[in-house]
Structure 1
Amino acid sequence: MSTDLLKRVVIREARPEDDAVVGELLVEAFITQYAKKLPEVVYTDERKRSLRDVAAKRAVAKVLVAEMEGRVVGTVALWPPGAPGSEAWLPGAADLRHLATSVDFHGQGLSTPLLDAAERVAREDWRVPAICLHVRRGAQGVARMYQRRGFLREPSADLDTPSVFLEAFVLRF
């Protein structure tokens, strides 16, 4: 991310008035990126509804947004240990999900300040031992991004559901 762009980004907690834009950002980012990288992936109406239900995420997780000049341009969600819906497999670990940036900013490093903030919440505020996450099998660029940040593959925690195979990664503190 360019230094100029980085200076204009503010990371903050999502508010109720952000729900609609964050939901649309998630749907647009996931559909656009997966369509390019994994054309076989189909997003059902049910999955889109789930992505758009930001209020439900905020009820159990810390949803962060990247804002630039008053516009929400990115998001990530972090479930605390034991929260309903958490997929963390390690005791006391946080669960990171729904990292997405506006299509206008893909490939510009906007995920870095979002992940920095989420890791800071997990490490400093919650004092958890680790962050767990899952990446769709075949999304190699996404997996490499997390690995560059220190996340390690944890095959024993992979999720194989009827509709998707998710590879597990963990960042231990």
Structure 2
Amino acid sequence: MSQSESLGPVHIREARPEDDAAIGELLVDAYVTQYAKKLPEVVYTDERKRALRDVAPKREVATVLVAEVNGEVVGTVALFPPGAPGSEAWVPHAADLRHLATAVRYHGQGLGKPLLDAAEALARTWGVAAVALHVRRGVAGVARMYQQRGYVRTPEGDLDTPSVYLEAYLLRLQG
């Protein structure tokens, strides 16, 4: 399949256990190839790849959504409810959006939009005040995509870990 393969009808649904392997490989492939283009200094360790592939524990604490095209899982995003284990939300009553990724062959074709639309709609049904997320410092295009959706840079939520600096963004859903 070519890099410019056209996107057919997209179906968004909640991930099932049988999707875990496809989601894990999609995350690793998308992160490794896209960060290599944008930030060549970023190296994904085997430990990080294992963590990305370990989808089942994430489904236990978060809602993992997938995008399907012709029955194939080609995108994913996870939404952690407020207070869930693994959530990195820094404000009370906020959902945490994590691990947005799309199949490399569909990058740049708008596949992230229906995934984000579904995740944000889910957050609204939860009645949360906001959706929080983090973007690796230096990935300006990703940050711009979120800002165009209404997410606001929120430095007090930044995470400075030994291996990466993550910049915080927040989408307010309620006053």
**TM-score category (smaller protein):** over 0.9
- Structure 2 distance, partners of 1:5, 1:101, is 12
Instruction: Report Cα offsets for 1:108-154 as digits up to 9, x if no partner.
Output: 0000000000000001x201010000000001000000000000000
CA RMSD of aligned residues (A): 0.9
Residue 128 (structure 1) aligned with residue 90 (structure 2)? no
Match of 2:71 in 1: 70
Q: Equivalences for 1:80-91 in 2 at 5 Å?
A: 80-91=81-92
Equivalence for 1:156: 156
Distance in 2 (alpha carbons) for counterparts of 1:104 and 1:17: 22
Q: CA deviation at 1:89?
A: 0.6
Identical amino acids, percent of aligned pairs: 74
Distance in 1 (CA, whole Å) between partners of 2:172 and 2:108 is 26
2:97 counterpart residue number:
96
Q: Secondary structure at the match of 1:171?
A: strand
The one-letter code sitting in structure 1 at the alignment partner of 2:136 is R
Partner of 2:49: 48
SS at match of 1:67: strand
Separation of aligned partners in 2, 1:50 and 1:127: 29
Q: Which residue is 1:21 aligned to?
A: 22
Distance in 1 separating the partners of 2:110 and 2:10: 11
Structure 1 length normalisation: TM-score? 0.95
Structure 1 stretches of 4+ with a deviation exceeding 3 A read none
Distance 1:157 1:101 in 2: 25
Partners of 1:57 and 1:14 in 2: CA distance: 11
Separation in 2 of the partners of 1:85 and 1:97? 10
Do 2:7 and 2:106's aligned partners in 1 also have CA atoms closer than 8 Å?
A: no
Provide the rounded CA distance (Å) in 1 between the counterparts of 2:66 and 2:156.
31
Superimposed CA distance per residue, residues 62-113 of structure 1 (whole angstroms, 9 cap, x where no aligned partner): 0000001110000000000000010001101000000000001000000000
State the TM-score, normalizing by the size of structure 2.
Answer: 0.94
Q: Distance in 2 between matches of 1:74 and 1:5?
A: 12
Q: Which runs of 5+ in 2 are unaligned?
A: 1-5
Aligned match of 1:142: 142
Aligned-pair distance for 1:39? Answer: 0.2
The match for 2:106 is 105
Q: CA deviation at 1:5?
A: 3.6
